Amino acid sequence: MFSEKYDELKDWLLEVDHGKDGMENGLNGAGRRVQDDKLGGIAHLNSEGAFTYVDSGFLDFMNYDSPENLMGKSWKKVYGEETVRLERKALSGLQPGETWQGRATGNGGKGSEIPQKLSLTKTSDDGLICKVSEISSREEVEIIQEKRKRRLSTLREGMARLKDSPTRYDIYNTALKVLREALDLDFCAMNVEDDDLCLVKGKTDGLSDSGYNLYGCIERLSEKAMTRGEVIWGDRLSELSEKNNGSGSSLNYSYISVPIEETGAVEVFASGKDAFSELDRSLMEIVGNHLYERITRAQLEGDLKNQAIHDQLTGLYNRHYFDKILAKEVERSQRYGHSITFLMIDINNFKDVNDRYSHSTGDQVLVQIGEILRENVREPDTVIRYGGDEFLVLMPETGSGSEIVVERLNEKTKNWSEETELIDFTLTLAIGAARYDPGGEQPVDEVIKQADQRMYQDKKTNEV
């Protein structure tokens, strides 16, 4: 097979090594020079990027046992996500007969990363001649430094994107995407105990087919990292997995698990032994710390936002929130032709609670009345503490059903005040209802004012 392919590649290889004037040296001279010095080898890719030929030098250099390991396979098997960079940087605009030379890192057949000099020559049929060779120790150091710089840059830019993530779920997804971009991972995961959430991003087909419990692995890794409060890493994922079946296969995945304080942990996984370096471990530790800070900030921002729209005493929505949603509800009412009913509510004789008991008792009464209102309106209705002992209920898409709600609120409040031990007299509600009609002439602010006036009329009638 090799000799036949050598003849087919003769002209291409001569163009790469000697030019057309060097044909007398033949293919064997080009191939021997690479192989005899044990510096590397040669392969051919078709126009779709699949291997159609590999010589023994290429196989030895890349740690593959036989041509069948690569023949017909995409070159992504060897160069992974780096093929995207090569296609963009090396092959873009490359014409037949032209050669790009540079450095790359290939994925060896035994899971190792192989820094190399890489030469890519485009052929007349849009294929590629691929030559690989060793690089010096100095060049290897430069590659490592370049890789470190690239990873740091990708992580720095990615972590900066976290500040634009509005929710914790967005933060988790963004972080996993950045990690995959920066570390060339098979897959990564985020296990967040606070949210009872486990996200996995990447290719896990091999895991699901192997009979191992992936989520069990992640949970054990997270628990181990969180318990110790330190980074956990290794190169045999199968040691942490409980098999789902009798499979005896081994999962040679390297992993790093980093605790995010008490929140959870983030894990990265790559195939092969020793796939991660000390640099990767350090970078992951930085990521874990950054994630904790961003998650904590998001929680704080969420708490502050929640406080901004809720009444601190009753937990109901506040006047500020009502002002924000009113225009939106009116617009929706006009779009769909549905009316909005407003219930303005006041607690009759509430001043007597503060005077006869205390303001602390008054606060407890407000909390419990607020709970009665919240539990006895419809699901789409919004209860607002309007101010003092006044409440407002916004009821979208209502017709005559508001009368039933008013009756129920009065009954529940009366029953509560007769049974509670907070006070020894009966409290009642003064309720005024008014309906906004999107086809009518009365603006919504006039409707709300009308509900308020009717509430005071009801109060005068019932207050003693």
How do strand 232-234 and strand 253-260 relate by DSSP bridges?
A: antiparallel
pLDDT of residue 71: 93
Does residue 15 register a pLDDT over 60?
no
Q: At what angle do helices 168-183 and 137-161 cross, to 10 degrees?
A: 170
Please give the residue that has the higher pLDDT: either 343 or 221: 343
pLDDT of residue 84: 76
- Of the chain, the percentage scoring pLDDT greater than 90 comes to 29
Query: What is the mean pLDDT of the segment spanning 156-180?
Result: 80
* Beta carbons of 49 and 57 less than 8 angstroms apart: no
Separation CA 111–CA 59 (nearest Å)? 14
Please give the residue that has the higher pLDDT: either 391 or 463: 391
pLDDT of residue 182: 78
Please give the residue that has the higher pLDDT: either 227 or 391: 391
pLDDT of residue 400: 65
Which two three-digit tokens encode residue 45? 């890719």
**324-361 pLDDT, tens digit each:** 889 889 988 888 888 999 999 999 999 999 899 999 99
Residues contacting residue 183 through CB under 8 Å, at least 6 positions apart: 151, 268, 270, 276, 280, 283
pLDDT of residue 452: 95
Does residue 148 register a pLDDT over 50?
yes
286: left (phi over 0), alpha (psi -120 to 50) or beta: alpha
Q: How confident is the model at residue 369 (pLDDT cuts 50, 70, 90)?
A: very high
Separation CA 46–CA 125 (nearest Å)? 8
Separation CA 336–CA 409 (nearest Å)? 28
Q: 10 Å Cβ neighbour count for 360? A: 9
Nearest CA-CA partner of 5 in 110, 129, 163: 129
The CA distances from residue 103 to 58, 85, 293, 441, in Å, are 16, 11, 37, 75
The CA distances from residue 127 to 83, 87, 120, 138, 248, in Å, are 15, 13, 10, 32, 41
Which two three-digit tokens encode residue 40? 């590397």
With H, G, I as helix, E, B as strand and everything else as coil, classify residue 283: helix
Assess whether the region 142-307 and the region 319-462 belong to the same CATH fold: no
Show me where the domains of the chain are located. 2-135, 142-307, 319-462
Does residue 8 register a pLDDT over 50?
no
* Beta carbons of 42 and 8 less than 8 angstroms apart: no
Backbone angles phi, psi at 161, to 5 degrees: -70, -20
Q: How confident is the model at residue 137 (pLDDT cuts 50, 70, 90)?
A: low
Q: How confident is the model at residue 271 (pLDDT cuts 50, 70, 90)?
A: confident
- Helix (H) or strand (E) run with residue 327 in it: helix 319-336
Q: DSSP letter string over 287-310?
A: HHHHHHHHHHHHHHHHHHHHHHHB
**29-66 pLDDT, tens digit each:** 434 444 444 468 999 999 999 999 999 899 989 989 88
Query: What is the mean pLDDT of the segment spanning 427-442?
Result: 91
Does residue 5 register a pLDDT over 70?
no
Give the architecture (CATH level 2) of 319-462. 2-Layer Sandwich (3.30)
pLDDT of residue 244: 42
Which two three-digit tokens encode residue 155? 């992580």
CATH number for the domain formed by residue range(s) 142-307: 3.30.450.40
Please, what is the Cα angle at 393 between 390 and 399, to 5 degrees?
140
- Helix (H) or strand (E) run with residue 259 in it: strand 253-260
Amino acid (one-letter) located at 316:
L
Q: Name the CATH superfamily, with its identifier, for domain 2-135.
A: PAS domain (3.30.450.20)
